[in-house]
Structure 1
Amino acid sequence: MVGGRRQGDAADEAAQREARRDAELVERLKKGDAKALDELFRHHREAAYGIAYRLLGSRDDALDVVQESFIHVLRGIQAFRGQSSFRTWLYRIVTHAALDYRRWRALRTADSLDAEAALEPADPAAQRAVEEGAADRDLRAAIDKALANVSEKNRAALVLFAIEGLSYKEVADVLGISIGTVMSRIFNARQRLRELLASEIG
């Protein structure tokens, strides 16, 4: 119990340090320090990409959304008042940008599936590594496929909570909904995911 509490305290301290660092970078960015945007991008790009990718299912589209989101940050930084953490504000921007992009893409093409080219590894060791990781990739692909069939609203809540590690309150802030609605959407998303994975895998 004590060890678990210490881990929780350490995680809280790390989150507080991150929030303080972000607040300092935001202030620098507001004063015109372009390097501050680079640092914010470096600190948050992976998480931002993860959200966009899980919502869109396409690497290229996710990269576009992340780029667009940081442009939005630059344009809107003077209006950012710090009522939420920078991370929450950024995740809100990325989530809305990804959902908007998804709607636009659906309108543009009725059924557009992004295919990724599979490159054959050149050396035998790389080929073995690919073969050994096939089961993991198959499971990941099954999860991604199932996740793509969870409703947009429920998927966004689940991705932010279960994959990005936001609290219920942070998810509520990002999506602009109540904590109760967040909990309901996560529950429904998990139920749907279980059903889809059961039919996909077993």
Structure 2
Amino acid sequence: MDSPTENKIRSLFKENYQEWCVHSFAFLHNMDEAQDVVQDVLVKIISGNKLEGIANPSSYIKVAVKNASLQRIKTKQKIRKLDETPPLIDYSYEQELIEQENKAKVQNALNVLPDQSKKVFELCVIEGLQYKYTADIMGISINTVKYHLKKAYKILRTTLKDTYLFNLIVVIVYIFFVKK
């Protein structure tokens, strides 16, 4: 014979199962997983006699389903991160030559800059200092810093006509000055 608790759980299951599944589906976007979550929650509740003394068991189960759905998402994200480790990049000789050529172009473009503009560019772009700190270090005004940056970018833009190189200049310059 069934106990009163088992009857209560059965009636809750019959009345709310679809609602709980839809609630879980709202988080997981997969009905099979949503049904699994609801069933797992109900099994835990039945095996632990957790409905004793709960005023609103339907709401309790709904919250438990939400929490279990969010936990499943979190677990899936951790697994996805482990699976998505980037493969080791195998550079060919040709790719190395292209990279060296691009580095040489950037270095030449930086050497074309006037000394003051080059120093401002290095401090602001490469080292990431704010205009104010760059101005303090160099003993110039913030507007002068802005002027030299504008001038540096203009010269680099004309020197590096290849937009690919210009768009990547900050990254390549970072490699030049930080890795040395």
TM-score, normalised to structure 2, is 0.40
User: Normalized against structure 1, the TM-score is what?
Assistant: 0.36
Q: Max radius of gyration: which structure?
A: 2
Which structure exhibits the higher relative contact order, with contacts defined as CA atoms closer than 8 Å and separated by 6 or more residues?
Answer: 1
